[in-house]
């Protein structure tokens, strides 16, 4: 019976920062606790607000009025900072929920992907850059689902958080810099390097799931 409860608990803990106490180690680990049932908590409200800002950011990037990209950078920056705020409140106040675990990473991905796709439309970033970032997100999500199916959680690492920060910096820099600025290529390269590196880290920490699957087949 304890094994069944533990397996059920794991399915609700895809985002360990909502479940683990601050300062605990993140990694591939078994989970014994779970968030409470879905309810509208302040962190959930902040996360939903971040999702609602996504179309606003995209519209501002694609608009044609004066300084529209600066306004887009401001809106994006504010939305990105709320990612740390809702996680902090969830840990500090114990406002964890199943909805928050699902919505928070979804909101993060929608914000970054929406801005990058709009920047591709504006010819501010190459499509292959966005393709690498999108592919990484799908691959990591799939790996986490495989791990969850085996009652395991691959938690967010410091490298993954650094990747997210570098992508946010990249988007803001692309919005604020002139189209001829060459230094933005360095910012994009750093973000891409951290994107690939963090994926390699996730894959290495979850490699035993693939090895176990291959041995069973």
Domains along the sequence of the chain with CATH? 2-216 (1.20.120.1760)
What pLDDT, on the 0 to 100 scale, is given for residue 23? 42
What pLDDT, on the 0 to 100 scale, is given for residue 145? 75
Decide if 152 contacts 212 (C-beta within 8 A).
Answer: no
What pLDDT, on the 0 to 100 scale, is given for residue 172? 96
What pLDDT, on the 0 to 100 scale, is given for residue 155? 63
What pLDDT, on the 0 to 100 scale, is given for residue 42? 77
Tell me 49's DSSP state. H
pTM confidence score: 0.72
What pLDDT, on the 0 to 100 scale, is given for residue 153? 62
Q: Look at residues 179, 106, 165 and name the one whose alpha carbon lies nearest to residue 137.
A: 106
**Paired residues of 153 in beta bridges:** 29
Helices (H), 12-67: 16-19, 42-62
What pLDDT, on the 0 to 100 scale, is given for residue 120? 95
What pLDDT, on the 0 to 100 scale, is given for residue 5? 44
- Report the Cα 83 to chain-centroid distance in Å: 9
What pLDDT, on the 0 to 100 scale, is given for residue 99? 55
Decide if 138 contacts 145 (C-beta within 8 A).
Answer: no
Reading the chain (217 residues) residue by residue, the pLDDT tens digits are 444 444 444 444 434 444 444 344 444 444 444 444 456 777 778 888 888 999 999 999 999 999 999 999 999 999 998 877 766 666 676 666 655 566 777 888 899 999 999 999 999 999 999 999 999 988 887 777 777 666 666 666 788 889 999 999 999 999 999 888 889 999 999 999 999 998 888 888 777 766 655 455 5
Decide if 83 contacts 50 (C-beta within 8 A).
Answer: yes
The phi, psi pair for 154, rounded to 5°, reads: -100, 100
Decide if 180 contacts 148 (C-beta within 8 A).
Answer: no
């Amino acid at each position: 019976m304890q094994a069944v409860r533990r397996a059920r608990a794991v399915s609700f803990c895809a985002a360990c920062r909502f479940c683990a106490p601050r300062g605990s180690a993140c990694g591939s680990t078994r989970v014994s606790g779970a968030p409470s049932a879905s309810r509208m908590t302040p962190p959930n409200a902040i996360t939903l607000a971040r999702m609602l800002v996504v179309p606003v950011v995209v519209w501002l990037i694609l608009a044609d009025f004066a300084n529209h990209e600066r306004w887009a950078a401001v809106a994006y920056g504010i939305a990105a900072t709320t990612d740390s705020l809702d996680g902090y409140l969830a840990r500090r106040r114990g406002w964890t929920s199943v909805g928050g675990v699902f919505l928070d990473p979804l909101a993060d991905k929608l914000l970054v992907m929406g801005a990058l796709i709009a920047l591709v439309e504006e010819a501010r970033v190459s499509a292959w850059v966005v393709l690498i970032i999108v592919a990484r997100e799908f691959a990591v999500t799939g790996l986490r689902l495989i791990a969850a199916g085996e009652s395991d959680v691959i938690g967010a690492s410091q490298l993954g958080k650094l990747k997210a920060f570098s992508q946010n910096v990249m988007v803001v820099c692309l919005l604020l810099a002139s189209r001829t600025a060459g230094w933005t290529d360095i910012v994009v390269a750093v973000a891409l390097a951290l994107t690939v590196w963090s994926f390699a880290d996730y894959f290495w920490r979850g490699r035993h799931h693939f090895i176990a699957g291959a041995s069973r087949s």
